[in-house]
């Protein structure tokens, strides 16, 4: 069996051990600083799909690594802190009636509040709530599944104002007019064929 041959750039450095860990932490902190302004009332309108705070966790772990504490010990400490935080949050939590639209709008408004909240008003929370309620599937026994990634999509159409945004229940095709004057703009009760 022949060993694989790897050709590297002459300027390539190879790091391992503690130096590599600290380099990874520095890179993660740089990314975390860039996206730090994503959430909250002073957000800068960046989208963060999975906000788990890993940049801050790495930042807090750096001094422990510099004191030669093993990474598994640090991870065990984070796991214990997570359990404690979950217990605390469960003690502070309270049930919300999901069928009460006003109550749900308050919750959604606090989550999507941005610097444009005054301009948009209640439109964004209402759109978000309508979209979630549209794709929610009842699993029985008081549980619902909400799969936004597969069942909801934001379709951007040039022109118009923010007030023109709406949630459509169904399927939408964004199709340009190919032959102006000859192509119909609206078809009532169409027959549709979907081909894959």
What is the full DSSP assignment across 105-133? HHHHHHHH--TTHHHHTTHHHHHHHHHHH
Which tokens sit at 187?
A: 């078809």
% of the chain with per-residue pLDDT over 70: 78
Q: Tell me, what's the pLDDT at 49? A: 46
Q: Tell me, what's the pLDDT at 84? A: 94
Biggest alpha carbon–alpha carbon distance for the chain = 75
Are 145 and 151 within 8 A, CB to CB?
no
So where are the chain's domains? 18-92, 101-164
**What average pLDDT does this structure show over 3-16?**
70
Which tokens sit at 124?
A: 């964004």
* 114 vs 19: which has the higher pLDDT: 19
Query: How confident is the model over 74-111, as pLDDT tens digits?
Result: 889 988 998 999 999 999 988 888 889 999 988 888 77
Closest listed residue to residue 152, CA positions, set 176, 138, 133: 133
Q: Give the span between the Cα atoms of 138 and 74, in whole angstroms.
A: 40
Are 62 and 22 within 8 A, CB to CB?
yes
Residues 6+ apart with CB under 8 A from 151: 135
Q: Tell me, what's the pLDDT at 48? A: 46
> What mean pLDDT value characterizes the chain?
78
Are 61 and 94 within 8 A, CB to CB?
no
CA distances from residue 137 to 21, 101, 117 in whole angstroms, order as listed: 43, 17, 29
Q: Tell me, what's the pLDDT at 112? A: 75
**What average pLDDT does this structure show over 160-173?**
83
Q: Give the span between the Cα atoms of 74 and 61, in whole angstroms.
A: 7
Residues 6+ apart with CB under 8 A from 138: 144
Q: Which of 78-87, 133-142, 154-163 is the most confident on average?
A: 78-87
Query: How confident is the model over 33-69, as pLDDT tens digits?
Result: 666 655 555 555 544 444 456 666 777 888 887 888 8
CB under 8 Å, gap of 24 or more: what pairs does 131-139 form? 131/167, 134/167, 134/169
What confidence category does residue 176 fall into, taking pLDDT thresholds of 50, 70 and 90? Answer: confident
pTM above 0.75, yes or no: no
Task: Name 137's bridge partners.
Answer: 145
């Amino acid at each position: 069996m022949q060993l694989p041959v790897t050709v590297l750039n002459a300027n390539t450095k190879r790091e391992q051990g503690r130096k590599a860990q600290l380099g990874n932490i520095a890179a993660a902190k740089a990314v975390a600083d860039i996206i730090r302004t994503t959430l909250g009332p002073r957000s800068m309108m960046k989208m963060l799909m999975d906000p788990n705070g890993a940049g801050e966790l790495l930042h807090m772990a750096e001094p422990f690594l510099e004191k030669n504490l093993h990474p598994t010990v640090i991870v065990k400490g984070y796991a214990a802190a997570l359990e404690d935080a979950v217990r605390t949050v469960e003690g502070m939590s309270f049930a919300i009636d999901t069928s009460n639209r006003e109550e749900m709008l308050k919750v959604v408004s606090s989550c999507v509040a941005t610097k444009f909240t005054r301009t948009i008003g209640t439109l964004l929370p209402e759109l978000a709530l309508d979209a979630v309620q549209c794709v929610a599937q009842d699993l029985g026994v008081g549980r619902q599944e909400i799969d936004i990634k597969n069942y909801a999509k934001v379709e951007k159409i040039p022109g118009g104002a923010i007030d023109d945004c709406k949630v459509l229940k169904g399927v939408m095709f964004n199709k340009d007019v190919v032959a102006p004057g000859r192509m119909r703009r609206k078809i009532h009760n169409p027959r549709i064929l979907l081909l894959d």
